[in-house]
Amino acid sequence: MGIKMEEQFIPKKNEQISLEICDLGEEGFGIGKYHGYTLFMKDAIPGDFVEALILKGKKTYGYAKVLRILKPSPYRVKPLCPLASKCGGCQLQHLIYEKQLEYKWNKVRNCLKHIGSIPEPPIEEIIGMEEPYYYRNKAQFPVGRGKNGELLIGFYAGRTHTIMNTEHCYLQAKINTELIKRIRNFLEREKISIYEEVTGKGLIRHIMTRIGFRTGEVMVCLIINGEYLPHQETFIQELKAIEKENPDYHIKSICCNINQEKTNVILGEKVIPIYGEPYITDWIGEVKFRISPLSFYQVNPVQTERLYKKVLEFAQLNGNEIVWDLYCGIGTISLFLARQAKMVYGVEVVAQAIEDAKKNAKLNEITNAMFFVGEAETVFPEKYQQSNGEMRADVVVIDPPRKGCDEAVLNTIAKMEVERVVYVSCDPATLARDIKFMRQKGYEMINGAAVDMFGETYHVETVVLMSRVEK
């Protein structure tokens, strides 16, 4: 006679319950246990005792909505932004910053431990921000109309395409408040048509701004569903007037990005400058960069410098090394390392990014950096063979997209028996997966550091050093 297994408790939809939050999940959701059943809920943090409504129940976990906080956590604070709980940009404004850092450090450690199969991951203390507000140098504001026809400029509500009017964002550069105010005035006064997602009609889709934190240079780019912006001269004068009241800033670039596709992709491929230069400049450490509308550039320049210093530390350069920077983008890491290396080779599949990298090398009078267009897994071994081994890498730096590194790239690194690999990642889960793969190829994680690039959010940047070990 078999033993009857106890059935798994699953709460019913729309049931109201009370429970304590014990942890934070992957996307900053609070985690609570109710009769052993795991529930995830937005805007809840460890230490909260809440009344919650069951939204969805699966076999082993479910989702709930916080109805009322019966007893707040000692780590709970009032968000600065009144839209924090609705906006999709901030997930952790209600959690004190010290606990945000603790959460992110644990997130990295747990991924390395459970996904990377490293029992005790060597992770340094997280590098936090001195001020976790007003750190973003790039903003993208969707533009639309409300139910009553009112002009909406702001950010999307979490997991929706509903635009929330935003007067002031606590993560963006402060000058954006004035920029958006003036753009709003211009659009309403000149009766410029606004893009409609449903019909695909209307002109203005998004507003993008880029700010040089050290130079004070400002770029404003309107993403338009057309070839021409009406009343361009009026628009230029509207923005230029900002300089009188804000002498620390200079309108360096005004342009239009053409996107006439019915798509959720924000930027099109064509950019038309209408005032000034088609770029702004800014610095990371002692390296100056030209930043165009389509360029990838880290959004937190202060923390980026700290991240790159950690990359440099892990690379252990003495001036005699050949370094390969795979997924190099516009060469930010490449040029940062070039001052300490014999030679740096950068590879990137996006041709425009490579053109920007070459320009940035010339701008900084850096002659020991070369850049190649193509897929890393192809270009890297090809150049090595063509050079009869002279371009063999002593150190490889990889900074892939969120999905992680292509296995072909990792296999190439292993086959070439590169001594040191420095891996920069914006997703600790895919990082841990790739580390596990490299451990099977004869590499071990030597050191790692988490860097908080995105305060008030659940995102975290990580840099890891792997070294080849003898088997």
pLDDT in tens for each of the 471 residues of the chain?
444 445 678 899 999 999 999 999 989 999 999 999 999 999 999 999 999 999 998 889 999 999 999 999 999 999 999 999 898 889 999 999 999 999 999 999 999 999 999 999 999 999 999 999 999 999 999 999 999 999 999 999 988 889 999 989 999 999 999 999 999 999 999 999 999 999 999 999 999 999 999 999 999 999 999 999 999 999 999 999 999 999 999 999 999 999 999 999 999 999 999 999 999 999 999 999 999 998 888 999 999 999 999 999 999 999 999 999 999 999 999 999 999 999 999 999 989 889 999 999 999 999 999 999 999 889 998 998 898 888 989 999 999 999 999 898 999 999 889 999 999 999 999 999 999 999 999 999 999 999 999 999 999 999 999 999 965
Instruction: Label residue 438 exposed, middle or buried (CB < 10 Å: 0-12, 13-18, 19+).
Output: buried
Which regions of the chain carry the CATH code 2.40.50.140?
Answer: 16-71
Which long-range contacts (C-beta less than 8 Å, at least 24 apart) are formed by 283-289? 283/214, 283/215, 284/308, 284/332, 284/336, 285/309, 285/336, 286/339, 287/332, 287/335, 287/336, 287/339, 287/360, 287/364, 288/360, 288/363, 288/364, 289/330, 289/332, 289/335, 289/360, 289/363
Element (H, E) at 16: strand 16-24
Task: Give me the pLDDT at residue 385, please.
Answer: 85
- The pTM (predicted TM-score) of the whole model is 0.93
Active site (annotated) includes residue 426: yes
CATH class of 138-284: mainly beta
Identified catalytic residue from 22, 81, 255, 426: 426
pLDDT score at 1: 45
pLDDT of residue 276: 98
Q: What is the pLDDT of residue 122?
A: 97
Q: Name beta bridge partners: 371.
A: 346
From first CA to last CA, the distance across the chain in angstroms is 51
Q: What pLDDT score does 159 carry?
A: 82
* Phi, psi (rounded to 5 degrees) for 242: -60, -35
Give the pLDDT of residue 390. Answer: 87
CATH fold group of domain 106-129+294-468: Rossmann fold (3.40.50)
Query: Which residues are CB-contacts of 19 (< 8 A; sequence separation ≥ 6)?
Result: 32, 33, 34, 39, 49, 50, 52
Reply yes or no on domain 16-71 having CATH 2.40.50.140: yes
Q: Where in the chain is the domain with CATH 2.40.50.1070?
A: 138-284
